[in-house]
Structure 1
Amino acid sequence: MAIRHEVQNLQRRGNIFYWRARIPVRMRSSIDVQHLAFSLKQSDHHRAGYMVRKLNLLLHEISLKPESTMINKEALEKLFQSEIIRMNEHMENLQFAGQRFGSGFQNLDNMTADMEVGWAYRLLEKFGTRQALFQHPDCVGHSYLKQSAVPQELHTNIITTYFGEKHAAETPAFRAEIEALMQEHGISAGILNAEKAKAEYFRARADVLLNTEGRYIFEYPVTIQEVVTQVVAPKPIEEPIEATPPAPAENPEPVVPTIPVMAPSVTKVKAVPLKNFMKECELLIENNKSTWQADTAEDVRVIIRIFTGILAEHGIKNSSEVEQVHLAALRQHFNQILPGYGRSRRLSAMTTARLREESASVHERAIRLKQEPPKIGLAVPTIRRHLGNLKHFLGHLSASGYTMQPLSLDGLMPKKISASKARSLTQKPDPERIRPIFQIPLFTGCSGPLPKQWRVSGDQVFHSSLFYVPMFLTYLGARRAEITGLSVDDVLNIEGVWAIHIRENQFRSIKNEQSDRVLPIPIEILRLGFVDYVHCIKKLGYVELFPELHVPGKITDTGDRFYKSFMPLLDTKNGFKGELWDRTIHALRHGFTDTLKQNGVQLSTIEDITGHLGGTEGQMRYSNAANLKLMQEALAVYPVITDHLKFEKLNLLPSIEQKEF
């Protein structure tokens, strides 16, 4: 017989708890039943109660939406089954982590860490990722923690964790996850809905992490204050003992009063727990924020996550247990995984062991089906970058005073590819091989302004980043983010010559000092209405040259956003009749350099245009960069491959004209 418990809709049948929910009246027109019943797959009353409260709230929120009257029983069941699986997986992960590190003071340490991360998620739930917190002592972030009675001793780590999770929530991978969840649950796209979905995501995680009761087993009763006292609070410093003053001299010198200076207290550090490696990673990134670009910081996060996964496989608990053999295991891991795993949300979410298994399985399946097997193993430049970043991290741990065994990357770091071999490995498409790119409907005429309409031939051409950025990459050989991150103020008219100033601005940094340069806008891009476009964008009040590549209030990787919108259009399934190359967008830069070189342009001029460091002292120290006139002459040797395109009048995307960005 089912037994009803304290929480509404919670029933127990045998040893398993069930959720039995009544369908709201307004939804019954599309659902021919009055109740839904699901097994929670839980025998723990505390966890089942938590899950039921969350499911009741979710059902209530769904019933308030206008479209709820159209939802069918199958869709509703699928939604709740997915949510039950998600909550069970998350709680099992937390329980496993808690059990793995034991009980007693180790559990106190884990409980403290859960509270720190939980409050970081709570801050993101309440204030989102767009509002800047902790910029000054009286900000709303500090006030919220105080009003919530969060112990002061936890604030520093909460703030550090907050910034780390905030950065993660601003990455393309996180946005893709949220978009996938919205699509899976039938939530319409839009900025407001996306913010609500993120808030619910953060709230769910905060609720689980802050609900520590029953998740930890202690050998004695423990309170939150004891957690703070035992784990966080430093030991008191003993008062210094004053020396006995000497007897006064017969002819005393004038006494100059001195102010005793006490050295700051330092808590002795032994080893950093494995679960805190990512926190230390964020500290390393913060230390280098003035010199590292956002993509460099993300690369560091990637390798530390991988290394942490390898160490977890070997049962390592803290930095003092890391041995040389674990570095060797990491190096072998690089040889056994699919090189493109980072582009797959499914593969990126796997553990290191599971990723190796899946990579081997994909390879074996292709052979079994007599297909071309995918390449296994990361490329040498990628491995060198990963190990170089790991070296930075290990040096940071050692410099921070954590106990570390002697470690070396000698023998593990692959040799750098020689310049001669690198030349043969890079694609350098000539203009005729690039020409088909500009023959897709996006450039010649599509059926409408929506992404799915860009693939269909029609009579509309929309002037946007997708139209102009590929031309800049082709005719100017610039880096992707150098163009996508331009502001309207970076477009200049210098003595009658239209130019762009590639420099650091509020939207993106630049790669190095020589990347800061002024380049003439190719004549063909001017013919196709670029100046009209700039004037119109500026008149609408935009600061960004390509507003659709930006997210309001956030630092956005505009290069990635452009890539993810443009590359799907270059698909033979969509009618594209050209060829593609490895790193297609960057290959345009290689092709530009090679084309100018083959047409007799001096290498020093090419390097001034592309922003490369000159090869000789004369090029860099004893001469200035090529002037605009010389650059224009060099650019003129590149053949025009867009002469089939016409410009009649400017046609912006409706979303840009309506200032939705």
Structure 2
Amino acid sequence: MVRNGIPEPHVDAIVATYHSEQAQAQNPIFDGQVRQQMQDVGLPDTLANRERAKMEIFRAKADALLNVGGRWPLIDRRQNALTATTLPEDERPSAFPAPETASAAPTTVNQDMPGGDPGREASVASDVQSVQASAGREEVAAAAPRNDEATPEPPSQATTARIERIPGVEREAGHEDGPVTPVLHLADFEAEFLKLRKNKGAAWAEASARDAHVLVVTFRDILEEQGVAHSGEIRQHHIAALRQHYNDVPARYGQSARQRAMRPAELRAFAADQAARAEAQGEPPYAVGLSAATIRKHFGNLDTFLRHLRASGYAIGEWELKGLRPAKPKPGTIRLQQVKPSPQTIRPIFDLPVFTGCRDEFGLDVPGNIVFHGACYFLPMLFAYLGARRNEFAGLGTSDILQTDSGPAIHIRQNQFRGIKNPQSDRMLPVPDELLRLGFMDYVAAISGLGYRQLFPELYSPDYKTVDPGDRFYKDFIPLLNASPEMKDGLWKRTIHAFRHGLADTLKQSGVEIAIIDDLSGRLGSGETQTRYTNAAGLPLLLEKIRGSVRAGGGKSDVRRCDGGGHRIGRLRWSCETST
């Protein structure tokens, strides 16, 4: 630009305008506007036609932007650095003001005109230029005088305040001449979310970050659907549109990759079609609408993201979630919602072939004479006896199994494979007697001897950077339950998590203090005595309470360990090496 005669004071503004136009052209909103204009004139919606239409739009913008003399005929182009370059060479001034002078004394206007304040008139002209260069606003284009129109009066200060706001900034109402506040365009929402993710750090587990990312993408798509261009245009009814969207989508769309890829309108239409089809064919109703707990989670993430935008300095209006976010269920209702299987209910699970003897590593659900130690063998017993969260046990490392003065112990803590939910989740649990009888410590030694750092390496894949071992175990173990004639019709919802509730209830019914149940489960107790003045219950006390609940539940199971006291490890399906 400098080599072609563009004065240096104007280069930065032109570069900013170019990047703004480029961002606008890549925005899905612009693409939608082009499609609508093509439809209005009956032009077929093809890729070639869209590209030609965009070229014509940009050519028209360029013609309007370069028509400096047509827009501001009163400006003496010889006294302005930028417009002077449009004059014939023999009419151009020999020198332009230095950058400092140019910024201090901008474009000069005819001093004979009434109200001709050079500084203010140049500011108005600059604002109008920026508006048209950034978005080609129709209001400004309409206000620009054509050659066949009478020249308008120079804008007054009141007129300046009414000039269309420059895209990318927002001015406070009543303070149009004050400082500007940047806005975040929809195309930049995901990039801004990554900043929020970094800010959260370890406070956000990967699963929480994924949920928040889904919320941001969905909210962006809903805003685009509502015609919103940037954060400064977000209003309360746009948030209400997101709430309604969650009412009209498949209840389990997150479990389908195809449905997750759908845009909001397409997803709602799919749910409506499926519901209508099920009704027409007399099938069970198709589940539509997310659960209250899921919506509450999404709106919590929405509040976090909007607060992040405001804290980052972006313009955004007030919002209210209280009337849209479902209320938390009352404690009494929660108690009724949670399944708490008793030891007698859980007991038949351990009659499955995977515990009593199966055919081979490919037929864990087929009766046979082989017992394989691994996740499907040990984890259900750990859940039944200790009631930890699914990921806490599935993500254990071999270094998390310790020998202590009180006997073998499991240290649930953050490791290289997974985090933990909160500080009180870091705790020491005793290895139950039944697992010691079944060779758990021998298994730990064998896995460590093979060079694995994960306690259950078959739950991991070298092909994926991030793996949720709890999810992998669920997908391996639940089919074994479904294959059992005794269990397939009696499974409760959230089967693995129900073990956790069942153990807590069993301990309570056995007379164990709530404070000890909280320590065993990794929950923060109530009251200052439990949280400030005392440590968590120690291994001997926890082991005593567990033994008491086992006796109350019927004693030992019929689970077999490996034949002859030996040790056999199941095929490590997803690991780099296999062993038997």
TM-score (norm 1): 0.59
Of residues 401, 404, 410, the one that matches 1:494 is 404
Of residues 445, 459, 463, the one that matches 2:373 is 463
| C-alpha distance 495-239 of structure 1, shift in aligned 2 (>3 A) | farther
Q: Does 1:653 align with 2:560?
A: no
- After superposition, give the CA deviation of every residue in 1:311-331 in whole Å (9 maximum; x if it has no partner): 122122221222111111111
> Partner letter of residue 323 of structure 2?
G
1:108 is aligned to 22
Q: Does 1:284 align with 2:196?
A: yes
How many Å separate the matches in 1 of 2:52 and 2:370? Answer: 62
Q: Does 1:515 align with 2:445?
A: no
How many Å separate the matches in 1 of 2:305 and 2:494? Answer: 28
Two-structure CA RMSD over aligned residues (Å)? 3.1
> Partner letter of residue 513 of structure 2?
Q
Does the CA contact (< 8 Å) of 1:607 and 1:614 recur in 2?
Answer: yes
Q: Does 1:608 align with 2:519?
A: yes
Does the CA contact (< 8 Å) of 1:435 and 1:642 recur in 2?
Answer: no
How many Å separate the matches in 1 of 2:369 and 2:495? Answer: 28
Q: CA deviation at 1:471?
A: 1.1
1:353 is aligned to 265
- After superposition, give the CA deviation of every residue in 1:140-160 in whole Å (9 maximum; x if it has no partner): xxxxxxxxxxxxxxxxxxxxx
Unaligned runs of 5+ in 2: 1-16, 29-50, 62-98, 103-168, 170-179
How many Å separate the matches in 1 of 2:276 and 2:555? Answer: 43
How many Å separate the matches in 2 of 1:575 and 1:600? Answer: 31
Q: Does 1:629 align with 2:532?
A: no
Does the CA contact (< 8 Å) of 1:524 and 1:640 recur in 2?
Answer: no
Of residues 201, 206, 219, the one that matches 1:307 is 219
1:376 is aligned to 288
How many Å separate the matches in 2 of 1:606 and 1:556? Answer: 30
Paired residues, number:
421
Does the CA contact (< 8 Å) of 1:498 and 1:520 recur in 2?
Answer: yes
> Partner letter of residue 567 of structure 2?
L
| C-alpha distance 431-578 of structure 1, shift in aligned 2 (>3 A) | farther
1:582 is aligned to 493
1:485 is aligned to 395
Rg (Cα) greater in structure: 2
| C-alpha distance 574-438 of structure 1, shift in aligned 2 (>3 A) | same
- The SS at the match of 1:559 is helix
Does the CA contact (< 8 Å) of 2:406 and 2:539 recur in 1?
Answer: no
- The SS at the match of 2:496 is helix
Of residues 309, 329, 344, the one that matches 2:241 is 329
- The SS at the match of 2:202 is coil
Does the CA contact (< 8 Å) of 1:380 and 1:417 recur in 2?
Answer: no
Q: CA deviation at 1:544?
A: 1.1
Unaligned runs of 5+ in 1: 1-102, 115-212, 223-237, 242-266
How many Å separate the matches in 1 of 2:534 and 2:460? Answer: 38
- The SS at the match of 2:203 is coil
Of residues 522, 529, 532, the one that matches 2:442 is 532
2:318 is aligned to 406
1:44 is aligned to none
Q: CA deviation at 1:575?
A: 7.2
- The SS at the match of 2:429 is strand
| C-alpha distance 389-579 of structure 1, shift in aligned 2 (>3 A) | same
| C-alpha distance 221-524 of structure 1, shift in aligned 2 (>3 A) | farther
Q: How does 1:42-61 map to 2 (within 5 A)?
A: none
Q: Does 1:219 align with 2:58?
A: yes
Does the CA contact (< 8 Å) of 1:363 and 1:373 recur in 2?
Answer: yes
> Partner letter of residue 398 of structure 1?
R
TM-score (norm 2): 0.67
Of residues 537, 560, 578, the one that matches 2:471 is 560
> Partner letter of residue 310 of structure 2?
S
Q: CA deviation at 1:442?
A: 2.2
Q: CA deviation at 1:215?
A: 11
How many Å separate the matches in 1 of 2:307 and 2:294? Answer: 20
How many Å separate the matches in 2 of 1:484 and 1:606? Answer: 21
- The SS at the match of 1:289 is helix
Q: Does 1:548 align with 2:486?
A: no
Q: Percent identity?
A: 42
Q: CA deviation at 1:282?
A: 1.4
- After superposition, give the CA deviation of every residue in 1:351-373 in whole Å (9 maximum; x if it has no partner): 22222222233333333333332
1:199 is aligned to none
How many Å separate the matches in 1 of 2:412 and 2:540? Answer: 17
Does the CA contact (< 8 Å) of 2:458 and 2:575 recur in 1?
Answer: no
> Partner letter of residue 274 of structure 1?
L
How many Å separate the matches in 2 of 1:657 and 1:508? Answer: 18
Does the CA contact (< 8 Å) of 1:440 and 1:576 recur in 2?
Answer: no
| C-alpha distance 269-557 of structure 1, shift in aligned 2 (>3 A) | farther
Of residues 353, 364, 373, the one that matches 1:454 is 364
Q: Does 1:644 align with 2:483?
A: no
Does the CA contact (< 8 Å) of 1:441 and 1:454 recur in 2?
Answer: yes
1:175 is aligned to none
Does the CA contact (< 8 Å) of 1:479 and 1:589 recur in 2?
Answer: yes
